[in-house]
Amino acid sequence: MRKLEFLIRRLLTSFLVLIGVSIITFALARIVPSNPAALYIGPRARPEDIERVSRELGLDKPITVQYIRYMKDVLHGDLGNSIATKRPVRQEISGRFPATLELLFTAMLLAVVIGVPLGVISAQWQGKWVDVIVRTSSIFGVSMPAFWLGLLVQIIFFRSLGWLPLSGRVDSDLRFTNPIEIITNFYLLDTILTHNWIAFKDVALHLVLPAFTLAAYPIGLIARMTRAAMIEVMGQDYIRSARAYGLPNRLIIYALALKNAIGPTLTVIGLTVAYSLTGAFFVEVIYNWPGLGLFTVHSLLNIDYPAIMGITLFGATGYIFINLIVDILQAWIDPRISLN
Amino acid sequence: MTMPLLQVQHLHMEFKTSRGTLRALNDVTFDVQPGEIFGIVGETGCGKTVTGLSILGLLPQSATITQGRILFDGNDLLKYSSKEMRKVRGAQIAMIFQDPTTSLNPVFTLGKQLSWVIREHFGISEKEARLRISQMFESVGLPDVERIMRSYPHQLSGGMQQRVMIALALACQPKLLIADEPTTSLDVTIQAQILALLKELCNRFGISIILITHNLGVIAKTCDRLAVLYAGRVVESGPTRDVFKNPQHPYTNGLMRAIPKPSRHGERMEVIPGTVPLNSGDVVGCAFAPRCKFTMERCRQETPTLEAVGYDHYAACFLREENRVG
Ligand SMILES: Nc1ncnc2c1ncn2[C@@H]1O[C@H](COP(=O)(O)OP(=O)(O)O)[C@@H](O)[C@H]1O
Ligand code: SF4
Ligand SMILES: [Mg+2]
């Protein structure tokens, strides 16, 4: 019962935050462009056109009425049309989002699978050379700018070694030899579903560099957080008790201690996922990755405010959703949380 | 007397700290007989906990045992490898700690924590382990086994948690249980219950118990023999009755007067003025001298060692000797 109450409370606050975000973005989008209708028509707009479009877009109404109308449309899944492409913003986002999500997901998987064990090992050998190496490299991971790291690995793995492709999601030649049949728009998944192994390999190779570039910061952060949490937990009374009962070291570290340490780490993971959503935009530009990031950059350059609003709302929803999942996971791992 | 189960002989232990070496144990010597409850008493900081941890091989990395032997069933535990020591822990010697609320893992059910311990030592199935657990719970007086197995530590009271700790410690049928201030964090009625439980378990299963406490009153009610620790040194040891009837060390005397006595004005007790020296390595002469009422010139120059003052009764104080001479 307490868990249900906890869940409802969290859902409610998430909803309120979303409303707040929508009001702010809406207000900004109405204030920043001096005349949205003029933007919509383009540079050769005549005054009468602007007036007509203003009416069509409802820009002559009071701003509260405009907001309510906009939210009504949003709730029906209509984010308006992009000024640049004239196509529905929703279509633009949903068509590109899978590429971003595939990149983000791979990167986060890398971050957790590499970062958590590194942190644990580092804590286990605190002060020894393994620890020193892990700590130094995690400082590198955290402090190296993505574009710099991206460039560096491109030079090493594409230019010098020739092991990995430079950019893009898939080799363009593949379109003729082994075309990918789009089902979910997640290429890894689609190639598996259609047993298109040649394309699968190509897609996977294309993912390596961007995913790693995006993962570098989270890996470093998660490793450091896990290390700190593990060291703290290993000093607790219940770990000493576990030793006093003769439980083996492996069990103590990887089960008894890690489950206690993962709580704070989880918060960091959640934050980095959210943060990496922005990071993904940079990485997409570096690797010419056809996702939301590239689209965002173009929208920003064109002051395509319906697109920018759509992306912001979409991003905020994603961010809040991730935080919600983290909270639920934490409540599930630590039985004490739901009590407060 | 039979062969002791545990013999701690001339144990010296020190910590490396940022401010240099800190001597925590100085020539600690005592033995524990099979089937007895042995008390270790002293004020906070006297080295009681680190004595227990030394026996179990659980000292922090900054600690070094510089001298001495710890014979368990005749074998020197200090010579054991860490792997051999792990086999001793739980199965031969178990330890429970002062605060049950921090000594159980907060994120696992009690059933899970118990079955890990049992399965580790007996290599039996989950089902057999659960059967054994319910027997263990009954013997420590925990009702409603199924519900407790499904509970997390925070869902139980402190007294119940300490019973679970004891059940955990007994699960592998150790020969020796070290109970470090097992009742200090519990309220008075629960304290009495836990002490009674320890006594009963000792009788029923024939295990030996080392009961660590800062309260000599607890020892009087529970222990067969005891050692009084001051500044990392045993200053008096012997059968409880003899020590209480005829204390031979001023510190023991002080502790006896510090036992809370019920009176018309609630509880009334005396305290020994002064504090325990932090680093007994720095001390010249008797460590108790600054707080002692009988300090003589000699006490500040020489360190007294344990001398027999009666049958199985030892004390480290010059007073008796001087009186005899003078
Ligand atoms: N990890 C440690 N590092 C340094 N000194 C310690 C450590 N643990 C205990 N000590 C010191 O050892 C002495 C004995 O401590 P302890 O055995 O905990 O006392 P008691 O249990 O009798 O209260 C104290 O002076 C304490 O400060
Ligand atoms: S040796 Fe001296 S100072 Fe120490 S307890 Fe005995 S009388 Fe007191
Ligand atoms: Mg203690």
Residues with CB under 5 A from ligand 3 (ion): B 49
A160-217 pLDDT tens trace: 787 878 777 877 777 777 777 777 778 888 888 888 888 888 888 889 899 999 999 8
Taking the CA of residue B134 and the nearest CA in chain A, the distance in Å comes to 18
> Of A82, A42, A75, A37, nearest to A59 (Cα)?
A37
Nearest CA in chain B to A261: B107
pLDDT along chain B (326 residues), means of 10: 89 92 93 95 94 94 94 95 91 91 92 88 84 84 87 91 87 91 84 89 92 92 94 95 94 88 62 79 87 92 92 93 64
A67-81 pLDDT tens trace: 888 888 888 888 888
| The pLDDT value given to residue A339 | 47
Taking the CA of residue B239 and the nearest CA in chain A, the distance in Å comes to 28
Cα separation of B170 and B175, whole Å? 9
The single-letter DSSP state of residue A181 is P
Alpha helices in A76-173 (DSSP H): 89-124, 129-143, 146-154
Cα separation of B8 and B28, whole Å? 7
Measured from the CB, is residue B129 less than 6 Å from ligand 2? no
Which of A3, A245, A253 to mutate against chain B (most B CBs within 10 Å)?
A: A245
A-contacting residues in B 142-161 (Cβ below 8 Å): 152, 154
> Which tokens sit at A124?
């286990």
| Domain segments of chain A as ranges | 98-333
- Taking CA atoms, B213 is separated from A252, B52, B224, B231, in Å, by 28, 12, 14, 15
Q: Is the dihedral of CA B7, B12, B18, B19 positive or negative?
A: positive
Q: Which helix (H) or strand (E) holds B203?
A: helix B188-205
> Of A259, A216, A215, A210, nearest to A234 (Cα)?
A259
B216-252 pLDDT tens trace: 989 998 999 999 999 999 999 999 999 999 999 999 9
A28-53 pLDDT tens trace: 777 766 666 777 777 777 778 778 87
Provide the β-strand partners of residue B11: B28
Give the count of beta carbons closer than 10 Å to the beta carbon of residue B144. 9
**Residue numbers in A near B99 (CB within 8 A):** 237
Ligand 2 closest atom vs CA B287 = 4
φ, ψ at B60 (rounded to 5°):
-65, 165
> Of B19, B12, B1, nearest to B278 (Cα)?
B19
Taking the CA of residue A222 and the nearest CA in chain B, the distance in Å comes to 21
Cα separation of B120 and B101, whole Å? 23
DSSP assignment of A206-237, as one string?
HHHHHHHHHHHHHHHHHHHHHHHHHHHHHTSH
DSSP assignment of A284-308, as one string?
HHHTT--SHHHHHHHHHHTT-HHHH
Question: Topology of A98-333 in CATH?
Answer: MetI-like fold (1.10.3720)
E strand map for A34-97: none
**Residue numbers in A near B165 (CB within 8 A):** 241
**What is the model's pTM?**
0.79
ipTM of the complex: 0.85
Q: Which helix (H) or strand (E) holds A36?
A: helix A36-41
Amino acid identity for residue A131 in this structure = D
Identify the residue with better confidence: A227 or B258. Answer: A227
